[in-house]
């Protein structure tokens, strides 16, 4: 692992600032995009074009009473909302935003991302259990089952990307896409990863953990004030993190298409600006896609979600991994 330098701290500070603010931006964008899709106006009262609406929402949550169930597990009920926020913040440590613009390069950075990203479900599950409510408990159990179901194909999709580079470093995975993005070399893995990322974020059509028509509010039924606000913040932070991971593993990270063939040499400042701009635009596109899908596709039934994960995506991801391994081995030893 590389030592943490002053540049690393600067990058970390900027990344955390952007991630925390991206949640407010994503909330506003969700409302405006969903309004456009449904042919209505969306927020347009609080500030110009409704831009101050996210701040009004935060103020409203701060002024609400913080209610804890009398027979719930109060300590765990309080800690649970913090877990998904912290895990979302931890992921930015190994994501490269440009050439040399990352906090640290861990040799097992891919494993770190998968491990930390999967820890967020503990907050949802513990919150549902600690609320001492049947609706909250069902939402928490659904979250655990859904995470297990889709973490496996997601991991196999990432493993199929590692075959091309032979390294668990996220930096190496991104650099290997300078000429060919993984979406071109591994389209099946890309589709599996994107669908699994949507399921991991617990958003429509995979929002079985909330399912207000069935479970009132799911795991956060008994939450109010800023505890609910933390869960709300974590959801949108994971949308942004999911968009970053899709960009990093399958869409070249900060690289332009086929950049190794045509992009000329640039100064360090110009290159840094270009890299960050490219990475940001890709992330914004996928965050928009999260919103687009939520307001386009209806919620799946629970048996459909389980069937898709276990009977479709997992076998296909394993076969895709084996097929790519055979092709790469044959290319390196017989055709290359």
Q: What is the per-residue pLDDT across 61-107, written as a single tens digit (0 to 9) for each?
A: 888 888 887 787 888 888 888 888 888 888 888 888 888 888 888 88
Q: Between 156 and 233, whose confidence is greater?
A: 156
Of 7-21, 51-65, 260-274, the poorest mean pLDDT is in 7-21
Rounded to two decimals, what is the model's pTM?
0.90
Q: Can you give the C-alpha Rg of the chain in angstroms?
A: 21
Neighbours of 125 (CB within 10 A): 23
Mean pLDDT is highest, among 46-55, 60-69, 130-139, 149-158, for: 149-158
Report DSSP state, residue 97. Answer: S
In this model, does residue 217 exceed pLDDT 70? Answer: no
**pLDDT of the residue at 260:** 76
| Nearest alpha-carbon partner for 223 in 20, 72, 25 | 72
Mean pLDDT is highest, among 21-25, 219-223, 308-312, for: 308-312
In this model, does residue 331 exceed pLDDT 80? Answer: yes
Cis check for the bond before 319: say yes or no (omega within 30 of 0): no
d(CA 22, CA 36): 20
Q: What residues pair up with 101 in beta bridges, in sequence order?
A: 98
Share of the chain above pLDDT 70, in %: 94
d(CA 74, CA 72): 6
Residue pair 132/73 in contact (Cβ under 8 Å)? The answer is: yes
**pLDDT of the residue at 289:** 93
The CA distances from residue 21 to 15, 28, 233, in Å, are 10, 11, 10
d(CA 321, CA 159): 7
Q: Please, which residues have CB within 8 angstroms of residue 266's CB and are 6 or more apart in sequence?
A: 274
Per-residue DSSP letters for 150-183? HHHHHHHHHHHHHHHH----HHHHHHTTTTS-HH
pLDDT for 157-199, tens place per residue? 999 999 999 889 999 999 999 889 999 999 999 999 999 998 8
**pLDDT of the residue at 234:** 84
Residue ranges of the alpha helices (H) in the chain? 6-37, 53-63, 74-79, 82-90, 109-130, 134-165, 170-175, 182-185, 187-200, 212-215, 225-250, 259-262, 268-294, 302-307, 314-330
What's the mean per-residue pLDDT of the chain? 85
pLDDT for 275-297, tens place per residue? 888 998 999 999 999 999 988 88
């Amino acid at each position: 692992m590389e030592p943490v330098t002053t540049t690393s701290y600067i990058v970390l500070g900027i990344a955390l600032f952007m991630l925390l603010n991206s949640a407010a931006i994503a909330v506003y964008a969700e409302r405006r995009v969903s309004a456009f899709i449904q042919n209505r106006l969306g927020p347009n009262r609080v500030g110009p074009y409704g831009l101050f609406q996210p701040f009004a929402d935060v103020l409203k949550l701060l002024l609400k009473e913080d209610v804890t169930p009398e027979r719930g597990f109060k300590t765990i009920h309080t800690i649970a909302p913090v877990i998904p926020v912290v895990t979302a913040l931890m992921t930015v440590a190994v994501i490269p935003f440009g050439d040399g613009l990352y906090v640290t390069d861990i040799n097992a950075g891919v494993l770190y991302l998968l491990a930390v990203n999967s820890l967020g479900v503990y907050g949802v599950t513990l919150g549902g259990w600690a609320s001492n409510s049947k609706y909250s408990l069902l939402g928490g159990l659904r979250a655990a089952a859904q995470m297990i179901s889709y973490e496996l194909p997601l991991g196999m999709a990432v493993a199929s990307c590692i075959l091309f580079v032979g390294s668990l470093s996220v930096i190496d995975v991104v650099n290997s896409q300078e000429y060919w993005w993984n979406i071109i070399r591994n389209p099946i893995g890309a589709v599996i990863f994107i669908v699994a990322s949507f399921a991991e974020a617990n958003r429509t059509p995979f929002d079985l953990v909330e399912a207000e028509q069935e479970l009132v509010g799911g795991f956060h039924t008994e939450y109010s004030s800023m505890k609910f606000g933390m869960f709300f913040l974590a959801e949108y932070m994971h949308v942004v993190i999911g968009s970053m991971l899709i960009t990093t593993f399958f869409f070249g990270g900060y690289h332009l298409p086929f950049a190794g063939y045509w992009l000329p040499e640039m100064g360090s400042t110009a290159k840094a600006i270009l890299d960050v701009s490219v990475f940001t635009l890709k992330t914004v596109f996928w965050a928009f896609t999260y919103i687009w899908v939520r307001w386009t596709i209806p919620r799946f039934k629970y048996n459909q979600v389980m069937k898709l994960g276990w009977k479709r995506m997992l076998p296909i991801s394993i076969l895709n991994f084996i097929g790519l391994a055979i092709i790469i081995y044959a290319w390196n030893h017989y055709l290359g």
